[in-house]
Amino acid sequence: MTINKKYVVDTTLRDGEQSPGIAFTIAEKVTIAQTLDALGVSRIEAGTPAMGRDECRAFEKIKLACQQAQIIGWNRMNLSDIQQSINCGADIIHVCVPASDLLIREKLRKTKIQVLETLVACSDVIQAAQKELTIGLEDASRADWDFVTQLIETARDLGATTLRFSDTVGIMSPLLCKSAIIRIPTDIDIEVHMHNDLGMAVANSIQGLRSGAKYADSTLFGIGERAGNCNLEHLLIATQGKMDFGINLEELQWRQALLKPLIFKDDRLYA
Strand spans (E) along 48-168: 70-76, 92-98, 132-138, 162-167
pLDDT tens-digit map of 188-224: 999 999 999 999 999 999 999 999 999 999 999 999 9
CA distance 70 to 138: 22
pLDDT tens-digit map of 84-120: 999 999 999 999 999 999 999 999 999 999 999 999 9
pLDDT (average), residues 239-257? 97
Name the pTM for this structure: 0.96
Kindly tell me the burial class for residue 70, based on how many C-beta atoms sit within 10 Å of its own C-beta (0-12, 13-18, 19 or more).
middle
Provide the sign of the torsion angle of the four alpha carbons 46, 86, 84, 61, taken in this order: positive
CA distance 47 to 67: 18
Q: What is the pLDDT of residue 103?
A: 96
CA distance 170 to 204: 10
Domains and CATH numbers, the chain: 7-263 (3.20.20.70)
